Chains A and B, each alone.
Chain A
Amino acid sequence: MHIMVVGLNYRTAPVDIRERFAIAQEDLSEALDRLKETKSVLEGVIVGTCNRTELYVVVDRLHMCAFYIRNFMEQWFGIPKAEFTQHLYIYEDERAVEHLMKVVCGLDSMVLGETQILGQVKQSFLTAQAEKATGTWFNMLFKQAVTLGKRAHSETSIGENAVSVSYAAIELGKRIFGMFTDKKVLILGAGKMSELTVKHLYASGAAQVIVANRTLEKARELAGRFNGLPCTLEEGVAMLGEVDIVISSTGSSDYVLTREQVKTLAAARRSRPLFMIDIAVPRNIDPTIAELPGVFLYDIDDLEGIVESNMELRRAEALKIERMIRQESDNFYGWLKTLGVRPVIRALQEKATDIHQETLESLFNKLPELDERQRKVIGRLMKSVANQMMHDPINRVKEMAADKNGAEAVDMFTQIFALESRLEQAEEAVTRESEKKTLDTPVFALRPAVL
């Protein structure tokens, strides 16, 4: 059996293609049913977000399977294969496992290290599990991937650094004030960028927002959104002594705030720090103000520098997570190898049970005078002996199966305990079951709506 992922994301497909592959939450169950019924597919999970649509499947053979999945996509989404094939990526086995883990950890996301995808993949898996579209492999793999995602975010700082200018301003503010709960914010100019920054500040609990603009009408409009106080630019500058944060983005070609103005109002500030963000180009705040004690002035270049430095940090953390992914992928394949030994263990246990039963029958025939209690005691004792005899070999073969030459070790174990014929019988039963399922399933399962 093999693991395969077929999908498209923001890197391989533009939004006009991606939006056509969106699966509504209410259709997901039916899509999973159809996917499960697709030829060769044994297990399936569909991950759909605004940035990606991915189909994770366990298949009985790799050959032709990508073709069946493409057919499924063509039928389900009602889009001819020729229109989307070039946007698809297909990963198999180890690459598919590593891809899933990268997705879960946010390494494949548009914003490196974002955490939303973790919840989305977890939800997709739970839906698939509820629809009984997953089995032994995916139940293990997805649980392991989600746990890894959580670990990646708790053990590294990949998601902690702001990667947008407005968030960088908030992060800076937090280094100065810690919290914004009792802070007053003054916005000079009702620009889009300052609106975004003040939106984050307001959401973080800023006590009051004062919007100062040349035209009072615009100031009123923006202030209304944050329950703030509108005023003219001159009035706003006069309030500098009361505020803690200043965000400036007016269209003025000259400085709106000069060093002298800030220095004059320093006494009214009573030694409180003043955090100033100048997002305007050309700049609105005289850069020499930064030299005044207790004033922290940052312009757009400074904020972008912080974003870049944060991105650098995220990339460094991503390398750590990639190491964790390799380790986790090895663990998964180690577990898969022990999965292969299960039929052997089952065969050994069945053989032991058969011997136990036969011996008991023979013994009871030879000693017919034994009463029911004596028979039960002897039965239990003999079973206990058999179990104790099997305990160590079973543990050892599990360990050996996970080693590099696991397959050879399992073969030898099979030969030593003469389990070949039992394994053959079990395999024949599985093949018969699989053939029955394939015969029952059409090559193309069409969606009723399409029909």
Chain B
Amino acid sequence: MLLLASLIELMIYIYALSLLFYFSDCVSRSVRSRRIGTGLLGVTGLLQFSVIGVRIVLENRVPMFSVYDFLFLFIFVLTLAGFGLALTQKAEFVVLLLGIVGFTASVLNEFWFSVGEHAEHIGYTQQLLLILHVALANLSLVALTIAAVFGILYLFLYAMLKKKKWNDTIRRLPSLEQTERWAHLAVLTGTPLLIVSLLVAFIMIVAQKRWEMLLDIKGITTFAALAVYGLYFVLKRTHKYSGFSIAKWTLVGYALVIVNLLSNAFSEYHKWNGG
């Protein structure tokens, strides 16, 4: 346990350090800072992977059923996505924003949630469904987070170009078209994953005959988020609305996803902490 605690602590420090280097690069362009930041982000990902690996060995299962585990997995995938973007794209601001989301989630996860128990009492088929549901929800959350980051960048760049403000930051951001394309690609990936994840959850409700759960706050907020992303696709398809309006809907959808994530405390649907 001491090993795990040390690994997590080290991961948070290195994550913070990586963000500091990225922040320094974004404030005052520095190739060296960016390279160090990218290297440290890679180390962070490696440490997160080690934590998951150590837990798999210690607990003899994949840790993914508690809120803590879900968030840890989400942060790991987000770090990998950020690292991948840092290596392949000139998108330091995107990496910084993803890093801020990941780091904040890491710290809050350590403060707010405990590792918790897992749902061992359910049957084998249901456990498989649960794994599928959690994994899909996790990947969908990562994709929608990336979409939200690109949405924020789009709104920022759009506003700056409209106001005719020109500085080094503007020059380093991806273009409006690229930002829109990436955001759309991320929503296009995240929404179907969320739908399938929700379908799997629905099958589990049917299997357990817990019909009342359909009206749970968790379910309602998920449907609301899906409705917003559906509206996003409709607006996008009509070609009548500017990228600015579309980007705003991406953020509204993501806000609902976050509300959904935070609504566990008021929800009977998920017995995340071992129920």
List residues of A whose CB falls within 8 A of some B CB.
154-157, 160-161, 171-172, 174-178, 267, 270-271, 273, 290, 293-294, 296, 298, 302, 305-306, 309-310, 313
Contacts and interface: CB of A to CB of B under 8 A. Distances in A.
Interface stretch (B59-67, B168-176, B195-203, B220-228): B168-176
A205 to B, nearest CB: 14
Interface residues of B, number: 26
A268 to B, nearest CB: 10
The B interface is mostly helix, strand or loop, or mixed, namely helix
Contacts, number: 61
29 contacts: A160-B171, A175-B157, A175-B161, A175-B170, A175-B171, A175-B173, A175-B175, A175-B176, A176-B177, A177-B176, A178-B175, A178-B176, A178-B177, A267-B240, A270-B239, A270-B240, A271-B239, A271-B240, A271-B241, A271-B242, A273-B176, A273-B242, A290-B162, A293-B244, A294-B242, A294-B243, A294-B244, A302-B164, A309-B167
The A interface is mostly helix, strand or loop, or mixed, namely helix
Contacts of A302: 164
A157 B176 contact: no
Contacts of A273: 176-177, 242-243
A237 B32 CA distance: 49
Contacts of A172: 161
Interface in B159-212: 161-162, 164, 166-168, 170-171, 173-178
Interface of B: 29, 31-32, 157, 161-162, 164, 166-168, 170-171, 173-178, 239-246
B151 to A, nearest CB: 16
Given A271-B239, A271-B242, A157 B168 contact: yes
A300 to B, nearest CB: 13
A178 B174 contact: yes
Contacts of A313: 168
Contacts of B239: 270-271
Given A176-B175, A273-B242, A306-B166, 16 more contacts: A157-B168, A172-B161, A176-B176, A177-B175, A177-B176, A178-B176, A270-B240, A271-B241, A271-B242, A271-B243, A271-B246, A273-B176, A294-B243, A294-B244, A296-B162, A305-B166
B168 A296 contact: no
Contacts of A309: 166-167
